Amino acid sequence: MSSNNFSGEQLNPLQSIEQWEDDVVLRYPEPGVPETAKSKEEYRNYDNPGRDTVREFYRLNHKYQTYDFVQEKKKEFLAFSRKEMPVWGAMEFLNTLVDDSDPDIELDQLQHLLQTAEAIRADGHPDWFVLTGFIHDMGKVLCLFGEPQWAVVGDTFPVGCQHSDKIVYPEFFADNPDAKDERYNTKYGVYSPNCGLNQVDMSWGHDEYLYQMVKDYMPEPALYMIRYHSFYAQHREDAYAHLMSEHDYEMFEWVKKFNPYDLYSKSPKPPVISELKPYYEDLIAKYLPATIRL
Ligand SMILES: [Fe+2]
Ligand SMILES: [Fe+2]
């Protein structure tokens, strides 16, 4: 089914795409930081309307992200035929994403990206790691092309083989046609043991889209961070060891290093964009071409 056939609520059950990441933080709280009574209650309370929308979001995600859907999205978006612009311009384009979230509480996309990158920079990591933090969610421009939220954000998972019960809300996969298709519902499905993730198609979203955009320009650890940062079932749960190669495991050390910056760098103090822009423009120029195609 084409995602363009979906109606309003099926497109955008979340008030904002940040609601997904906020929910991930509740699922994987920062180690050492005591859970507040409020956050515990928020996560456990199934009557919480915020949780209902996240549940509905996952219901749609798990139902419609099939092997065929992913192939179709790749054909549609990996031609990169929509726009061509400088990277900073693409970030500003991403920042035009306005949704129903409260602008007084929620940071905008550029602020989240700068906070992530600045936290990485403050810890003294290499500059390509800082740049990775800055661009890692640029693929969310998919939302601006009318894509449903569940085909842009959400935990990613392999398609074409059995869904792990370690993926959040595994019960919703019962409605995914692949779960009844014998080509796709066995442990290995269309893959072979430890074939390596490069052989594996992931559910479609902002990770794969950005990876394909920058794969010729960034160092390999950066590409792993970009491509698999939403693959919680692996980097947090090790649920797909049977598909991982040794090299994947080596590279996933970087994905794990990156994840806390993504989840826990949000602070209410917004970064001053004009002060930071020259540094990031230099970083972009060092690694990426003058313009990129979306
Ligand atoms: Fe992301
Ligand atoms: Fe992020």
Q: Which of 199, 187, 228, 197 is nearest to 211 (CA)?
A: 228
Give the number of whichever ligand sits closest to the CA of residue 226: 1
Q: Which of 94, 131, 128 is nearest to 114 (CA)?
A: 131
pLDDT digits (tens, 9 = 90+) for 50-91: 778 999 999 999 999 999 999 999 999 999 999 999 999 999
**What percent of the chain is modeled with pLDDT above 70?**
91
pLDDT score of 281 more than 60 = yes
Predicted confidence band of residue 5 (pLDDT cuts 50, 70, 90)? confident
Average pLDDT of 113-134?
Answer: 98
The whole-number pLDDT of residue 98 equals 76
Flag whether 4 is in a domain: no
Distances (CA, A) of 229 to 83, 102, 120: 25, 26, 15
Domain ranges, residue 124: 14-293
Q: Considering only 37-46, 168-177, 217-226, which range has the smallest mean pLDDT? A: 37-46
Give the number of whichever ligand sits closest to the CA of residue 264: 2
Q: What is the mean pLDDT of the chain?
A: 92
Cα(284) to centroid of ligand 1, in Å? 19
Give the number of whichever ligand sits closest to the CA of residue 232: 1
Residue 85 sits at φ, ψ, to 5 deg, of -160, 165
Distances (CA, A) of 111 to 80, 94, 119, 139: 26, 11, 12, 15
Cα(182) to centroid of ligand 1, in Å? 31
The per-residue DSSP string of 184-232 comes to TSSSSTTS-TT--GGGPPBPPSHHHHHHHHHTTTS-HHHHHHHHHTT-H
Flag whether 265 is in a domain: yes
Cα(291) to centroid of ligand 2, in Å? 22
Give the number of whichever ligand sits closest to the CA of residue 225: 1
**Residues 179, 161: Cα–Cα separation, whole Å:** 9
Q: Each residue of 169-206: b (16+ CB within 10 Å) or e?
A: eeebbeebebbeeeebbeeebbbeeebebeebbbbbbb
The whole-number pLDDT of residue 167 equals 98
Strand, coil or helix: 14: coil
Give the number of whichever ligand sits closest to the CA of residue 261: 2
The whole-number pLDDT of residue 257 equals 98
Average pLDDT of 158-182?
Answer: 98
Flag whether 8 is in a domain: no
Average pLDDT of 257-268?
Answer: 93
pLDDT score of 1 more than 60 = no
Cα(112) to centroid of ligand 2, in Å? 7
The whole-number pLDDT of residue 45 equals 60
**Residues 105, 122: Cα–Cα separation, whole Å:** 24
**Residues 126, 75: Cα–Cα separation, whole Å:** 34
Q: Which helix (H) or strand (E) holds 37?
A: helix 37-44
Flag whether 5 is in a domain: no
pLDDT score of 156 more than 60 = yes
Which is more confidently placed, 52 or 36? 52
Flag whether 1 is in a domain: no
pLDDT score of 235 more than 90 = yes
Average pLDDT of 127-147?
Answer: 97
Flag whether 3 is in a domain: no
Flag whether 104 is in a domain: yes
Helix and strand counts by DSSP (H, E) for the chain: 13, 2
> Considering its fold, how many domains does the chain have in total?
1
Flag whether 109 is in a domain: yes
The whole-number pLDDT of residue 47 equals 61
